[in-house]
């Protein structure tokens, strides 16, 4: 197969006629609830581009929502997964196990923060990993309550919908939700009423006060938090907030769970985002970037907590599928070989530099934030902090039309987020930023 050319190339309007035909088939065959951000149908992808059925080549600032950090069809992922496909595709690890699963567990036990003894259990999706982290924490603590945060996102299953903050589109009409879930404030500096400088201290005090008064710390099994809130708007909690919450958890026998499903595996310029403030979580949930695009998820954590659940209490038919495990080993090999943490930090440098210059020119940009290859701009009504969802949607549309895949997020729908594959070339990165700048002049 020919090498995928690392260039943006538009030969039709976006979406092109063949994509439009396929979209009509999608509408007739797939339910409305499965939304599509940009209806171009992909035939090949790799490096920093996606090629579509009409022969267009688009720049990828989405990575399939933070998944293809090593790029699509990364060499080591394809090599290892292909070899595994030829050997065997499934036995069910719970029936007759295989080495790949154990090797992924060993790698995760080593790569995640903390040098204590650890265990890892594998699953298929991020939501499943979060559900299992809660099961494990409940089994260990013999408590039931789970504390989560404003702006948090943890998935679309019943329990993870309950853990998720935003109603529309994730929860609307899908209740009732799982009980014993309590939500407390997140240190969102940009929107903290008394100012960003007071945010960490005040938000932590409020969160701890609410837990203590409304739930009772002794009833809390787990505190589940994203070190950077992803779907909620790439909100990096004000510095000092996470350590305070982690300390509170430790002092009260609560399992501290870092949901690193979006932030993990080099995305933020470190193996895991919680390393930034030296947090050592009791449990850590991972998925997305773990296996170069194959479905795999994990819960990794302290041996004594992970071993609390009785034999047969955890698992699932496909959890830790051998092909997905082989892909994960290929993805981790690529991350180490190419030093994707360094690449993520370089992406941050380039993106933040240019976006901050744009912020000076365009007062619709309220804040530029994020870490590594997880960067966002929050858009506001000029001169205010009022969320500007209309400008965000218009900007995303303008980028799409020019062949740049970007995603939106945020509790108020006013955040444009950028998650390029960490292997993207710097030329493409800059070309994508040119498109954003040009779109800003028009919006």
Ligand X SMILES: Cc1ncc(COP(=O)(O)O)c(C=O)c1O
Contacts with ligand X, residue ranges (CB under 6 A):
65, 125-127, 130, 153-155, 226, 230-231, 259, 261-262, 287
Tokens of 430: 């800059």
Nearest residue (CB) to ligand X, 293 versus 403: 293
Nearest residue (CB) to ligand X, 56 versus 72: 72
Residue with the shortest CB distance to ligand X: 126
Q: In whole angstroms, how close is the CB of 65 to ligand X at the nearest point?
A: 6
Which burial class, exposed, middle or buried, applies to 66 when counting CB atoms under 10 A from its CB (0-12, 13-18, 19+)? buried
Cβ atoms of 352 and 343 closer than 8 Å: no
H/E run at residue 183:
strand 181-184
- The DSSP bridge pattern shows strands 415-418 and 374-379 to be antiparallel
> Long-range contacts made by residues 93-96, C-beta under 8 angstroms, separation at least 24?
93/122, 93/315, 93/319, 93/320, 94/312, 94/315
Alpha carbon of 443 to those of 58, 287, 362, 380, 394: distances in Å?
21, 35, 10, 12, 7
- The candidate with the shortest Cα–Cα distance to 225, out of 199, 249, 197, 252, is 249
- The candidate with the shortest Cα–Cα distance to 416, out of 371, 379, 373, 370, is 379
Backbone dihedral region of 107: left (phi > 0), alpha (psi from -120 to 50 degrees) or beta?
Answer: alpha
Nearest residue (CB) to ligand X, 57 versus 72: 72
Q: In whole angstroms, how close is the CB of 162 to ligand X at the nearest point?
A: 13
Nearest residue (CB) to ligand X, 153 versus 192: 153
Q: In whole angstroms, how close is the CB of 363 to ligand X at the nearest point?
A: 30
Q: In whole angstroms, how close is the CB of 26 to ligand X at the nearest point?
A: 20
Tokens 């589940």 -> residue: 224
Which burial class, exposed, middle or buried, applies to 142 when counting CB atoms under 10 A from its CB (0-12, 13-18, 19+)? exposed
Q: In whole angstroms, how close is the CB of 127 to ligand X at the nearest point?
A: 3
Nearest residue (CB) to ligand X, 8 versus 288: 288
Q: Would you give the DSSP letter of residue 45?
A: E
Nearest residue (CB) to ligand X, 230 versus 366: 230
Q: What are phi and psi of 343, to 5 degrees?
A: -65, -40
CA–chain centroid gap for 358, Å, is: 26
Nearest residue (CB) to ligand X, 16 versus 421: 421
Q: In whole angstroms, how close is the CB of 258 to ligand X at the nearest point?
A: 10
Tokens of 242: 């996470």
Cβ atoms of 154 and 146 closer than 8 Å: no
Nearest residue (CB) to ligand X, 16 versus 155: 155
Nearest residue (CB) to ligand X, 150 versus 259: 259
Q: In whole angstroms, how close is the CB of 185 to ligand X at the nearest point?
A: 18
Q: In whole angstroms, how close is the CB of 194 to ligand X at the nearest point?
A: 27
Q: In whole angstroms, how close is the CB of 230 to ligand X at the nearest point?
A: 4
Q: In whole angstroms, how close is the CB of 232 to ligand X at the nearest point?
A: 9
User: Which residues lie below 8 Å from residue 294, measured CB to CB, with a gap of 6+?
Assistant: 77, 81, 321, 323, 324, 327, 328
Nearest residue (CB) to ligand X, 231 versus 236: 231
CA–chain centroid gap for 375, Å, is: 12
């Amino acid at each position: 197969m020919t090498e995928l050319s690392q260039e943006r190339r538009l030969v039709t309007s976006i979406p092109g006629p063949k994509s439009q035909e396929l979209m009509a088939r999608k509408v007739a065959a797939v339910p409305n609830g499965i939304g599509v951000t940009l209806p171009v149908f992909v035939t090949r992808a790799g490096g920093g581009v996606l090629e579509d059925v009409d022969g267009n080549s688009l720049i990828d600032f989405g990575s399939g929502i933070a998944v293809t950090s090593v790029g699509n069809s990364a060499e080591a992922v394809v090599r290892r997964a292909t070899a595994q496909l030829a050997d065997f595709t499934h036995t069910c690890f719970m029936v007759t196990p295989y080495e790949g699963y154990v090797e992924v567990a060993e790698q995760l036990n080593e790569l995640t923060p903390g040098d204590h003894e650890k265990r890892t259990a594998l699953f298929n999706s991020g939501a499943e990993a979060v559900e299992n982290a809660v099961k494990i924490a409940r089994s260990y603590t013999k408590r039931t309550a789970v504390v989560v945060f404003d702006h948090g996102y943890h998935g679309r299953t019943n329990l993870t919908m309950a853990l998720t903050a935003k109603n529309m589109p994730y929860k609307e009409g899908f209740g009732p939700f799982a009980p014993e879930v309590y939500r407390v404030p997140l240190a969102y500096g940009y929107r903290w009423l008394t100012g960003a400088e007071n945010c960490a201290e005040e938000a932590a005090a409020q969160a701890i006060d609410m837990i203590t008064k409304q739930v009772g710390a002794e009833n809390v099994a787990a505190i589940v938090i994203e070190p950077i809130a992803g779907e909620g708007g790439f909100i990096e909690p004000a510095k000092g907030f996470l350590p305070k919450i982690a300390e509170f958890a430790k002092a009260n026998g609560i399992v501290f769970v870092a949901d690193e499903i979006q932030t993990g595996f080099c995305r933020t310029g470190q193996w895991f985002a919680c390393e930034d403030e030296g947090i050592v979580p009791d449990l850590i949930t991972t998925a997305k970037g773990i296996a170069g695009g194959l479905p795999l998820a994990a819960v990794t954590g302290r041996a004594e907590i992970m071993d609390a659940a009785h034999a047969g209490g955890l698992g699932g038919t496909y959890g830790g599928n051998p092909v997905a495990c082989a892909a994960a080993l290929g993805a981790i090999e690529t991350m180490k070989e190419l030093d994707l943490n360094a690449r993520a930090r370089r992406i941050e440098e380039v993106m933040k530099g240019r976006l901050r210059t744009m912020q000076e020119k365009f007062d619709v940009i309220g804040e530029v934030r994020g870490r590594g290859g997880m960067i966002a701009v929050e858009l506001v009504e000029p001169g205010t902090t009022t969320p500007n969802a209309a400008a965000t949607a218009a900007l995303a549309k303008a980028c799409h039309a020019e062949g740049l895949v970007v995603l939106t997020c945020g509790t108020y729908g006013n955040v444009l987020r950028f998650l390029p594959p960490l292997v993207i070339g710097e030329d493409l990165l800059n070309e994508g930023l040119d498109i954003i700048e040009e779109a800003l002049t028009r919006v």
